[in-house]
Amino acid sequence: SYELTQPPSVSVSPGQTASITCSGDKLGDKYVCWYQQKPGQSPVVVIYQDTKRPSGIPERFSGSNSGNTATLTISGTQAMDEADYYCQAWDSSTYVFGTGTKVTVL
């Protein structure tokens, strides 16, 4: 079965850049989206179709996807960005989530 691997945790100082990777075989051939989940809440999409931001999501969130790795970048990280982040890969019959990354803003 298809697997997506993320680092368990990423720490970042306020105002700095956080990068979260998502690795999977030929991931660049699939669409990737990213979800943010805060404690006790349902997930919210922050990036879809590799690089697109839904309305209402701050510009500091950006995404890329190439080869075997997709990356979510949070520029100018704020305290409110502290959350769990999950990548997800889509194709006709693949709906796999990544292992999840806890972002801590120190």
Contacts to other proteins by CB under 8 A: 1, 31, 33, 35, 37, 42-45, 48-49, 54, 86, 88, 90, 93, 95-100
Q: Minimal distance in Å, beta carbon 28 to other proteins? A: 14
Q: Minimal distance in Å, beta carbon 13 to other proteins? A: 26
Question: By C-beta, is 74 or 89 nearer to other proteins?
Answer: 89
Question: By C-beta, is 68 or 97 nearer to other proteins?
Answer: 97
Beta-bridge mates of residue 85 = 36, 101
Q: Minimal distance in Å, beta carbon 15 to other proteins? A: 28
- From residue 66, alpha-carbon distances to 13, 34, 69, 94, 102 in Å are 27, 15, 6, 18, 23
Question: By C-beta, is 69 or 94 nearer to other proteins?
Answer: 94
DSSP 28: G
Question: By C-beta, is 18 or 46 nearer to other proteins?
Answer: 46
- From residue 55, alpha-carbon distances to 3, 15, 52, 58, 73 in Å are 29, 22, 10, 8, 17
